[in-house]
């Protein structure tokens, strides 16, 4: 999940428009739009401020990162697919269930 997806998800779960979040977080609405489209990355402190305005938080906890070659290869494979290919694959998996 990208930072923009995280902000958008928190905003939608809080049932806020970009304008409402802008007022609650005391940041320009245009900044929220740029963050949600991953055009610009907010700083960590700004990200926490925006998420807290939505009623969420991300605790500053460090944990070891473990590389998983199989997972990384799958992510790369999916990243290279077109949206149509991703949808077709999802539909095939649903049909098998």
The domain limits of the chain are 3-53, 64-97
Each of the 97 residues of the chain gets a pLDDT tens digit; together they read: 899 999 999 999 999 999 999 999 999 999 999 999 999 999 999 999 999 999 999 988 888 888 899 988 988 998 898 988 988 888 888 888 7
Burial of 33 (0-12, 13-18, 19+ CB in 10 A): middle
- Asked if residue 42 lies in contact with residue 35, where contact means CB atoms within 8 angstroms, the answer is yes
- Homologous superfamily in CATH for domain 3-53: lambda repressor-like DNA-binding domains (1.10.260.40)
pTM recorded for the entire structure: 0.66
pLDDT in tens, 24-52: 999 999 999 999 999 999 999 999 999 99
């Amino acid at each position: 999940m990208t930072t923009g997806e995280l902000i958008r998800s928190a905003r939608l779960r809080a049932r806020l428009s970009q304008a409402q979040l802008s007022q609650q977080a005391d940041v320009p609405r245009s900044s929220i739009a740029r963050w949600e489209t991953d055009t610009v990355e907010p700083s960590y402190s700004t990200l926490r401020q925006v998420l807290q305005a939505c009623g969420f938080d991300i605790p500053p906890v460090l944990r070891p990162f473990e590389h998983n070659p199989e997972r990384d290869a799958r992510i790369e494979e999916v990243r290279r697919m077109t949206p149509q290919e991703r949808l077709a694959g999802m539909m095939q998996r649903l049909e098998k269930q």
